[in-house]
Amino acid sequence: MTRRRSDSKAIRPRQEGLNQLKAKGAKMELSITQPDDWHLHLRDGDLLEVVISHKQQCVFGFRESILKALLANSDFISLMTLHLTDTTTREEIKLARDSGVVYAVKLYPAGATTDSKDGVADLFGKCLPVLEEMVKHNMPLLVHGEVTDPEVDIFDRERVFIDTVLRALIQKFPQLKVVMEHVTTVDAVRFVESCSEGFVAATITPQHLVLNRNSLFQGGLQPHNYCLPVLKRETHRQAIVSAVTSGSKSFLLGTDSAPHERQKKGMFLWMCWYIYAMPLSPYHSMPGF
Out of 7, 9, 41, 232, pick the active-site residue. 41
Axis-axis angle for helices 186-194, 234-244 (nearest 10): 30
Q: Is 36 annotated in the active site? A: no
Give the residue with greater pLDDT, 100 vs 181: 181
Single-letter amino acid, residue 137: H
Q: Does the active-site annotation cover 41?
A: yes
Q: 250-282: per-residue pLDDT in tens? A: 999 988 876 656 666 555 444 444 454 555 555
pLDDT, mean of residues 227-242: 95
Catalytic residue among 39, 55, 83, 208: 39
Active site residue 39: yes
The single-letter DSSP state of residue 56 is: T
- 122-150 tens-digit pLDDT: 999 999 999 999 999 999 999 999 999 99
Q: What is the domain extent for residue 51?
A: 9-280
For residue 173, what are the contacts with CB-CB under 8 A and spacing of at least 6? 131, 132, 135
pLDDT in tens, 65-122: 666 766 777 766 677 788 899 999 999 999 888 887 789 999 999 877 766 677 899 9
Judge whether 1 lies within some domain: no
Q: 234: part of which helix (H) or strand (E)? A: helix 234-244
What's the mean per-residue pLDDT of the chain?
Answer: 77
Domain membership flag for residue 286: no
182 is catalytic: yes
pLDDT greater at residue 161 or residue 113: 161
**Which residue did the predictor score with more confidence, 5 or 24?**
24
Q: What is the dihedral of CA 209, 34, 243, 276, to 10 degrees?
A: 20
| Total structural domains within the chain | 1
Contacts of 134 (CB under 8 A, 6+ apart): 93, 105, 140, 141, 176
State the catalytic residue, choosing from 182, 208, 260, 265: 182
The model carries a pTM of 0.74
For residue 144, list its beta bridge partners: 181
pLDDT at position 124, please?
96
67 phi and psi angles, rounded to 5 deg: -60, -40
224 assigned to active site: no
Split at pLDDT 50, 70, 90, the class of 227 is confident
In whole angstroms, how large is the CA radius of gyration of the chain? 18
Q: Which of 106, 232, 260, 265 is catalytic?
A: 106
Instruction: Flag whether 285 is in a domain.
Output: no
As a whole number, mean pLDDT of residues 186-203 equals 95
pLDDT value, residue 61: 43
d(CA 99, CA 6): 18
Measured between alpha carbons, how far is 139 from 177 in angstroms, rounded to an integer? 7
pLDDT in tens, 17-56: 434 444 455 566 766 666 677 666 554 555 444 444 433 3
Percent of the chain with pLDDT over 90: 46
With a CB cutoff of 8 Å and minimum separation 6, the contacts of 286 are 21, 206, 209, 210, 280
Out of 36, 37, 187, 256, pick the active-site residue. Answer: 256
Q: Is 273 part of a structural domain of the chain?
A: yes
CA 261 vs. chain centroid, Å, equals 21
- Bridge-based pairing of strands 37-40 and 141-144 is unpaired
pLDDT given at position 3? 36
10 confidence band (pLDDT: 50, 70, 90)? very low
The letter for the amino acid at 101 is: V
Q: Is 236 considered catalytic here?
A: no
User: What whole-number distance in Å separates Cα of residue 230 and Cα of residue 212?
Assistant: 9
pLDDT for position 115: 64
Residue tagged active-site, from 9, 55, 83, 144: 144
* Structural domain includes residue 169: yes
CATH of the domain at 226: 3.20.20.140
Q: Is residue 65 exposed (0-12), middle (13-18) or buried (19+ Cβ within 10 Å)?
A: middle
